[in-house]
Amino acid sequence: MNRRNFLSSAACATALRAAPPSRPNILFLLTDDQRFSTIGALNNSAVRTPNMDRLVRNGAAFTHAFIMGGTIPAVCVPSRAMTMTGQSLFHVHDSIVDPKPQSAKRPFVLMPEALRKAGYTTFGTGKWHNGEKLFARAFSHGGNVFFGGMADHLKTPVADFDPAGEYPRDQRRTGEKFSSELFSDTVIQFLENYKEDRPFFAYAAYTAPHDPRMAPREYRAMFPPEKIELPPNFLPEHPFDNGEMKVRDEALAPWPRTPEIVREHIAEYYAMIAHLDAQIGRVLQALESSRHAGRTIVIFAGDNGLAVGQHGLLGKQNLYDHSVRVPLVIGGPGLPKGKRSDALVYLFDIFPTVCDLTGLPIPESVEGKSLLPLIDGRAKKVRDSVFFAYRDLQRGVRTGRWKLIRYVVNGAKTTQLFDIANDPWEKNNLAADPGHTGRVAEMNKLLWKWQNDTGDKLELN
């Protein structure tokens, strides 16, 4: 076993040895459209998230976790594909999001699939969005699976689990309650009824706080719009055409955005998150009351962020931090509590991290980096920069301090440079400042290297 696959943390190794049959359970909770700045314990006292706060207190929180972006407007599809395969954006686009005959043979292994082959029971509920056949490859059990087509959170079309992967649309039914409650009920039932000795991987993928934002009345009452503060980077409209100004997400409010409209959207967003937090609390309580609590690692993350009024935008079809930066917390027996890491990480680093935490080899197809060295203190970082892409319109790269975004829209080219350390809201574009000419050139070289390394063919010059 090579160094990459060796579980060297003494605390983790002790926990694994002490927990029969030698490997921990994994409970993975994934939310939909929840940006990084929506957890009370980390960065936002305006939102109420006592259960997410509890996860932060009891685990390692990665405050600079990112997605690589999206190749289609439904950013959740490539994001979830990256998370499940450990592969980068353009590779999952070719193999899962929009497979081409010439690239369909590119090998990949799904995270639950790898655990299943190692003897895990794998259970899935909620939003999948990566195809019925892949769900069957990944999971041995499941229930109330959502493959798409939601009208609202009270009318979520779901399917019963089918090991053959056959999910005809005429056999799907409407969920009987609010989506967050439905998916929580399903994973709670699994936790309460699971009696086997073999370890499990339980995946609950929510559709909240994705719109339509229709939280129950008592949660909406918690956030009066008139008391909501506008973000410092609020704008009535984006200052230029970023190539995706009229996509569905952006059409949820008229232009120009008004302070009143944005406050309403933020209030509804927070209400959805507060309701979701309560449902996650029910799942955590069920876990703690079960026989599995002492040997279960909990992973909590969001699939992508959302603008909700920042930079004059509402959606996630952009490369600002509010849309590519997400929550990520990992905690459980033998792991540090209350730890914070500001290392630059990706969601697709979760797969190799799970392999290290369970003592399994990391598949050759996985491109992510294990975060265990960050969790157990052996390392301060796993990479020096992160790369972002959105369709053939936007490209970006970020280091610990600097961020460059390039736009190519109908022949027009725009460049932004932000000093994130001193301008975390990305308000002041320094690209045209003569004093930063060298910095722009340096970041461009880094961007081109990332493009080359990830198979990105977009010509920026």
Give residue 8's pLDDT band: very low, low, confident or very high (50, 70, 90).
Answer: very low
For residue 151, how many other CB atoms are within 10 A of its CB? 10
Asked if pLDDT for residue 9 goes beyond 70, the answer is no
CA 427, chain centre distance (Å)? 24
Q: What is the pLDDT of residue 21?
A: 57
Q: How many helices (H) and strands (E) does the chain have?
A: 13, 18
Give the three-class secondary structure for 136. Answer: helix
Average the pLDDT over 295-316 and give the result.
98
The per-residue pLDDT for 101 is: 66
Measured CA angle at 210 (ends 209, 216), to 5 deg: 50
Average pLDDT of every residue of the chain: 93
pLDDT of 40 over the 50 cut: yes
User: What does the block give as tokens for 404?
Assistant: 């460059």
Contact predicate 111/354, CB 8 Å: yes
Residue 10 has pLDDT above 50, yes or no: no
Strand partners, 27: 202, 298
Please give the share of the chain, as a percent, with pLDDT higher than 70.
Answer: 94
Helix or strand holding residue 243 (H, E): none
The better pLDDT of the pair 168, 348 is held by 348
Q: Write out pLDDT tens, residues 195-211.
A: 999 999 999 999 999 99
Average pLDDT (442-448) is: 98
Average the pLDDT over each of 3-12, 148-157, 344-353, 426-435 and give the range with the smallest value: 3-12
Residues of the chain with CATH 3.40.720.10: 3-383
Using alpha carbons, select from 29, 18, 202 the residue that is nearest to residue 121: 202
Stretch 321-337: mean pLDDT, rounded? 97
Whole-number pLDDT of residue 33: 97
Mean pLDDT of 356-377: 97
Which residue type, as a one-letter code, is found at position 454?
T
CATH pick for 3-383 out of 3.30.1300.10, 3.40.50.2020, 3.40.720.10, 1.25.40.10: 3.40.720.10
Whole-number pLDDT of residue 168: 79
pLDDT of residue 315: 97
Return the CA Rg of the chain.
21
Check if CATH label 3.30.1120.10 holds for domain 389-454: yes
Note the pLDDT of residue 150.
Answer: 77
Q: Rounded mean pLDDT of 40-65?
A: 96
**65-101 core/surface letters (b: 16 or more CB in 10 A; e: else):** bbbbbbbebbbbbbbbbbbbbbbbbbbbbbbbbeeee
Identity of the residue numbered 345:
V
Model confidence pTM above 0.85:
yes
Q: Where are any strands of DSSP class E within 32-99? A: 59-62, 65-66, 69-70
55-111, pLDDT tens digit by residue?
Answer: 999 999 999 999 999 999 999 999 999 999 999 999 999 888 888 765 556 789 999
Give the mean pLDDT of 259-266.
98
Kindly report, as residue ranges, where domains of CATH 3.30.1120.10 are found in the chain.
Answer: 389-454
**Tens digit of pLDDT for each residue in 166-196?**
887 777 889 889 999 999 999 999 999 999 9
- In this predicted structure, what is the pLDDT of residue 166? 85
Q: Rounded CA gap, 67 and 36, in Å?
A: 11
Interior CA angle at 335 toward 274 and 31, to 5°?
25
* Mean pLDDT, range 225-233, rounded to an integer: 97
Asked whether 68 and 80 are in contact (CB, 8 A), the reply is no
The burial class, CB within 10 Å (0-12 / 13-18 / 19+), for 173 is: exposed
pLDDT at 16 over 70: no
Predicted confidence band of residue 1 (pLDDT cuts 50, 70, 90): very low
Over residues 315-324, the pLDDT tens digits come to: 999 999 999 9
Instruction: Using alpha carbons, list the distances in angstroms from residue 238 to 142, 304, 313, 315, 362.
Output: 42, 20, 6, 12, 42
Q: Residue 172 and residue 184: Cα distance in Å, rounded?
A: 19
Q: Is the pLDDT of residue 165 over 90?
A: no
pLDDT given at position 104:
54
Length of the chain: 461
